[in-house]
Structure 1
């Protein structure tokens, strides 16, 4: 952060989303414009070292928001009277860079100095949400719509929508997960795995991606699952046949009864938690990962498993 001193320099790039703003255009390009969408105002100067780092990072973040916000760049040297007027109204503009978010004609958030890209993204997200908009340009709503399609069995359209979201945001973990699960629903497990393998490394451990991996693993197990009735009879005949109980749990899950599958795995864990290198616990976690975290089957299953582990 640098104290404001004298100096002169070139104008910053202008455009529909990012504009050079002066005292003459401030009302139109900041105050009035912020009635429609938040405006991020960057107070800078060409001699300011931190400004040279922060400015491009801000521009990249605003561009990524795809019109949910705009950006106004104000050269403090060329607009000293405007800066003084804003300072008199309470904005702390004694040093630069200073970045202020305007929403509905007034400043609602600000920071000073160069900050990390993650902090810039969080700042812009807060501004968008304060303006009543969506921080992801509507992609979240598109993912929700695709999830609804998938739940209703409209698999092809769901897959197409998930793919479109990925085309707009190639780091959208929810979209990769949804597209993979759509392929699972189509019975194309290899393609489902290919989708997840194509996800960027930085989102490969996201909860949504892990959930899709778990669903693929369970779907592959289902291809080889035995008949529930025969396995149930086998377990009833010999409750200590742990392999039969494990196979029964897989068959129950393949038949769509996740709750019963969890109960069988808990019973197996209770009998011998170390059986087959802890296979019961590993299978339980696979089922839990495949379901939503707040699913009652997950909540009850985790509670019962924890009570056995820590008993």
Structure 2
């Protein structure tokens, strides 16, 4: 029987890496398409079968993520039923190919990592990102940003922190990435670390809108924590004196900290309506601070801007 996977033959096809990012492989081309190609870029091998239901879900996800990586990683798909000799030899080497799908990552002619089962696309991205880090490569910045923002939307702040951090390392002057690091640290309760990240921002981006907004988010979080415990007191003060503008602004801060952003907006709009100029327009300034901290695309920010304009331009 021919030796299909023999490290002694690795030098025989040097420079013969596959030209395509994604291709079908077999036992005849395994050395060239996988082992030798992995000396240039990491190579994923998708072991699949026509009868495998989960394979039909995983393979398209793999193809999508590998394509998005822009040539930094390659994918070779191998049908186990058509390549039994290869599968048998790899199984003897310890690869768990008795079940599919199994995805094996090769780097520098060696097995670097693997996973089994049909992972969701987000987990496939994370696996490939880890592979690229281990290999010293990088995912495209747009891809990292999109994945980080998706992680935030899903409430996975640990994943978002890792992705924003990777992007910040690639692009130290990317204000959006650095602000993302600070905001995810804040979401994880690491307030001091979040402040330190912003304090140590490169001079070129210290005053960038994203950095300023992240600072506002930290300030709103700190102020809100204090005000939240006194929410009832502020409500009682306003009930006793509807023109207690200080209490109304404090109430807005407490409502924001209680995740009632619409209520916070309404409290400040009412304060502006009653006395816009009070304390150098403190209510309007607090509302703008909220918009900055929440993000200008936040639904409460959008609604709040409409309400503010109706008061200011009536």
Range class of TM-score, shorter chain = 0.5 to 0.7
TM-score by length of 2: 0.52
Helix, strand or coil: the match of 1:273? coil
CA distance in structure 1 between the partners assigned to 2:210 and 2:222 by the alignment: 19
CA shift at 1:148, angstroms?
2.4
CA distance in structure 1 between the partners assigned to 2:198 and 2:234 by the alignment: 33
Name the structure 1 match of 2:167.
Answer: 165
Name the structure 1 match of 2:282.
Answer: 279
CA shift at 1:187, angstroms?
1.8
> Between Structure 1 and Structure 2, how many residues are aligned?
179
- Per-residue Cα deviation, 1:248-298 (whole angstroms, up to 9, x for no partner): 111101101111101101111111112222211111011111223233322
1:183 aligned to 182, 185, 190, which one? 185
CA shift at 1:202, angstroms?
2.3
CA shift at 1:169, angstroms?
0.8
Matches for 1:229-244 after TM superposition, within 5 Å: 229-244=232-247
Whether the 8 Å contact between 2:225 and 2:254 is mirrored in structure 1 is: no
Whether the 8 Å contact between 2:145 and 2:167 is mirrored in structure 1 is: yes
CA shift at 1:211, angstroms?
2.0
1:156 aligned to 135, 158, 163, which one? 158
CA distance in structure 2 between the partners assigned to 1:158 and 1:302 by the alignment: 29
CA shift at 1:305, angstroms?
1.7
CA shift at 1:178, angstroms?
0.8
Name the structure 1 match of 2:148.
Answer: 146
Q: What are structure 1's unaligned runs of at least 5 residues?
A: 1-65, 69-135
Helix, strand or coil: the match of 2:259? coil
Helix, strand or coil: the match of 1:208? helix
Name the structure 1 match of 2:313.
Answer: 310
1:249 aligned to 240, 249, 252, which one? 252
Q: Is 2:204 aligned against 1:212?
A: no
Q: What are structure 2's unaligned runs of at least 5 residues?
A: 1-68, 72-137
CA distance in structure 2 between the partners assigned to 1:67 and 1:197 by the alignment: 34
Helix, strand or coil: the match of 2:207? coil
CA distance in structure 2 between the partners assigned to 1:215 and 1:155 by the alignment: 16
1:296 aligned to 278, 281, 299, which one? 299
CA distance in structure 2 between the partners assigned to 1:308 and 1:201 by the alignment: 38
- Per-residue Cα deviation, 1:220-261 (whole angstroms, up to 9, x for no partner): 102211333332233123211112111111110110111110
CA shift at 1:137, angstroms?
6.1
Name the structure 2 match of 1:78.
Answer: none
Name the structure 1 match of 2:268.
Answer: 265
CA shift at 1:216, angstroms?
0.6
- Per-residue Cα deviation, 1:6-53 (whole angstroms, up to 9, x for no partner): xxxxxxxxxxxxxxxxxxxxxxxxxxxxxxxxxxxxxxxxxxxxxxxx
Matches for 1:1-311 after TM superposition, within 5 Å: 138-225=140-227, 226-311=229-314
CA distance in structure 1 between the partners assigned to 2:142 and 2:217 by the alignment: 22
CA shift at 1:304, angstroms?
2.3
CA distance in structure 2 between the partners assigned to 1:196 and 1:286 by the alignment: 17
Helix, strand or coil: the match of 1:224? helix
Residue 137 to residue 145, structure 1, CA distance change in 2 (3 Å):
closer
TM-score by length of 1: 0.53
Helix, strand or coil: the match of 1:264? helix
Helix, strand or coil: the match of 1:150? helix
